[in-house]
Amino acid sequence: MAEEAAANSEAMEGVRKIQIYSSLSSSSARQVTPFWKEKYERDAKKYWDVFYKRHQDRFFKDRHYLDKEWGQYFLGRQGEKLVVLEVGCGAGNTIFPLIATYPYIFVHACDFSSRAIELVKGHKDFSEDRVHAFVCDLTMHTLSDVIEPSSVDIVTMVFVLSAVSPEKMPLVLHNIRKILKPNGLVLFRDYATGDLAQERLTSKEQQISENFYVRGDGTRAYYFSNKFLVSLFKQNGFSVEEVSICNKQVENRSMEVVMNRRWIQAVFSNKYIEQGNGHRSFSDNYLNNYDNSEVDISSSVADMFSMSSSADEVIEIEVKDCSFRIKALAKEYQHTCKSTGLMLWESARLMCNLLAENPSIVAGKRMLELGCGSGGICSMIAAHYAELVVSTDGDAEALTLLRENIFSNLGTNLLDKIIMKRLIWGNMEDVQAIKDLCSHHGGFDIIIGTDVTYSYDAISPLFETARQLICNQDGNCKPALVLCHIERRINESSIVSSASDFGFKLVDKWVNGMHLSHGIISSWFSEGDSYMNCFKNTPLTILYFHT
């Protein structure tokens, strides 16, 4: 890339120079209009096709630094056939230096620009025995349809993920994990926040969203912070091997100005670890366990629910000024599925509307959602108003689909306010991990649970967990636990009794449209709320507790 070439220039010493774009802030930039934001997303492939038509293979320089930076990951496998996938291969500036340096490497190369793939296939060093080049949009197409699942040793991502809108980045990572071997590596290099190009785009008011910009030719670039990148990969099943921000000052000698160039470089692993129970599980935040006889990523439950047709039902939800497209388990599969978290329940729909109509419930507060399932609509609405939202569930499949739904529905500014975590009620390790997120504040101001009281065995662990995580502060705005559910075999007296055992007092309730009093919950409802027509025949209950 031009930025990479510029980063290799050496700065002169001893001469006073002007540093350009050193004090601008992306937070002050005026963003492009929604019309153009949508257009840049819709026509992304077209803009890159035009780019390669105009520049052919003359724009980017071959990346000969790969051997210097990551040679140890390729050299350790001499004598064996090493399978590499180059994501966003462009004109082949990574591919051809690799196959020239390492004769035992076979490279799969994909790009969503058909013109780029034509350039790769037209290169003088292209050989089908060494390179398999194909068109693929990793946000839409399934890599495992083209590449054998769990067959790739190394994936290289060099200045490519930045071209993807941040809400779709998890889809790219899910796709990559399907074809990457257990312990396989992702070698990553891309733009970092504070780079000269970001500052220049900020000054030209070409910002799409936080850290995401459009260039003059319509192509886009995201600028990664260390925190965002690590969180992105961890939440999508990878462990961090190494990560660093690289800085260099580049000089224009004739104009006597210096420019800050910054990029981020990292190595991530599709690592799994042996556990004492004889099972293998992926490390960090990936929660699924695998049979110890064989690890087949392509058929893992998490991957199935991220891409397969069994989870292809899309539920469109309109809530006040927000629109959500929620991916859920199709109805024909629901009766055979053991996980209740893969469906969207009426209680969550009701609570979602109440939060949207009454932002004061969570405004400026730290909110915890228990058993949020794969939809996460209450958490997503709350993220617009709350200081912090932590979405939890004990089901691995639900969490995997939850991540996809949240990343595809929320902008980057809201993603920074929401955290997704596993929480099995009564599990002290899980409880402590959640507690650490609010350790400086003493707990959560409000805890919400929708349809979490359907099992007798889960009631006590539910309230025990809530009691440990709720804030102990007292005052005008008391911490609250709010439960909304459809009436089932567990009666209200059993729920209230168990709540009392852990220090919770029922202070208000709403049952089938009837209020206990003109109190807290009644203030959430207004005459003529049109959305309530959807719930008038549903036996819903809301219970409001204080400690």
Rounded Cα–Cα distance for residues 329 and 324 (Å): 16
What is the structure's pLDDT at 231?
Answer: 92
Query: Using CA atoms, how far apart are residues 157 and 180, in angstroms rounded to an integer?
Result: 13
Question: For residue 126, what are the β-bridge partners?
Answer: none
Tokens standing for residue 269: 């692993």
Backbone phi, then psi, for 331, in 5-degree steps? -55, -35
pLDDT of residue 539: 79
As a whole number, mean pLDDT of residues 474-489 equals: 80
* Greater pLDDT, 333 or 308: 333
CB-count exposure of residue 418 (10 Å: 0-12, 13-18, 19+): buried
Distance separating alpha carbons of residues 81 and 439, to the nearest angstrom: 49
Buried b / exposed e along 171-197 (16+ C-beta atoms within 10 A): bbbbbbbbbbbbebbbbbbbbbbbbbb
Out of 152-166, 423-437, 461-475, which region has the weakest mean confidence (pLDDT)? 461-475
Tell me the C-alpha distance between 375 and 57, whole Å: 44
pLDDT in tens, 30-77: 677 778 888 888 888 787 778 777 766 655 667 767 777 888 888 755
Question: Phi/psi class of residue 167: alpha, beta or left (left: φ > 0; alpha: ψ in -120 to 50)?
Answer: alpha
Please report which confidence band the pLDDT of residue 489 belongs to, taking 50, 70 and 90 as the band edges: low
Task: Specify the DSSP class assigned to residue 166.
Answer: G
Q: Which of 196 and 224 is assigned the larger pLDDT?
A: 224
In terms of phi and psi (left: phi > 0; alpha: psi -120 to 50; beta: otherwise), the region of 443 is left
Rounded to the nearest 5°, which phi and psi values hold at 435?
-60, -35
Contact assessment for residue 105 and residue 74, using Cβ atoms and an 8 Å cutoff: yes
**Cα–Cα dist 243/188, whole Å:** 9
- Per-residue pLDDT, 461: 92
Average pLDDT over residues 236-261: 76
Find all residues with CB under 8 Å of 157, minimum gap 6, and list them. 87, 88, 186, 187, 188, 189, 190
pLDDT exceeds cutoff 90 at 186 = yes
Using 50, 70 and 90 to split pLDDT, how confident is the model at 445?
very high
Q: Which residues pair with 109 in a beta bridge?
A: 86, 133
User: Is the predicted pLDDT of residue 101 greater than 80, yes or no?
Assistant: yes
What distance lies between CA 147 and its chain's CA centroid? Answer: 24
Quote the pLDDT of residue 458: 86
Amino acid at 252: N
- Residue 503 has a CB neighbour count (10 Å cut-off) of 13
Beta strands in 362-479 (DSSP E): 366-370, 388-393, 418-422, 446-450
pLDDT score, position 294: 26
Mean pLDDT over all residues of the chain? 78
pLDDT band at 86 (very low <50, low <70, confident <90, very high): very high
Q: Which residues of the chain does CATH 3.40.50.150 include?
A: 2-271, 309-546
Count, residues in the chain: 547
Give the residue carrying structure tokens 């919770």: 504
Sorted by sequence, the CB contacts under 8 Å of residue 152 that are 6+ apart come out as 83, 84, 85, 108, 179, 180, 181, 184
DSSP code of residue 470 = B
Q: What is the pLDDT of residues 518-539, one digit of tens each?
A: 688 888 988 767 777 776 666 7
Tell me the residue type at 117. I
- Residue 328: predicted pLDDT: 76
Question: pLDDT value at position 45?
Answer: 75
66's tokens = 């790969």
Q: Which amino acid is at 134?
A: F
Q: What is the DSSP letter of 40?
A: H
* Alpha-carbon span 31 to 27, nearest angstrom: 10
The 8-class DSSP code of residue 88 comes to T
In CATH, what is the architecture of 2-271? 3-Layer(aba) Sandwich (3.40)
Distance CA 43, CA 49 (A): 10
Helices (H), 135-210: 169-179, 196-203
pLDDT digits (tens, 9 = 90+) for 358-383: 999 999 999 999 998 888 999 999 99
**Residue 324 contacts by C-beta under 8 Å, 6 or more apart in sequence?**
316, 317, 377, 380, 405, 409
Residue bearing the bigger pLDDT, 513 or 146 = 146
pLDDT band at 282 (very low <50, low <70, confident <90, very high): very low
Prediction pTM value: 0.47
Fold entry, domain 309-546: Rossmann fold (3.40.50)
The interaxial angle of helices 396-409 and 169-179, nearest 10 deg, is 140
Q: How far is CA 229 from CA 68, 156, 195, 238, 266, in A?
A: 23, 15, 16, 11, 9
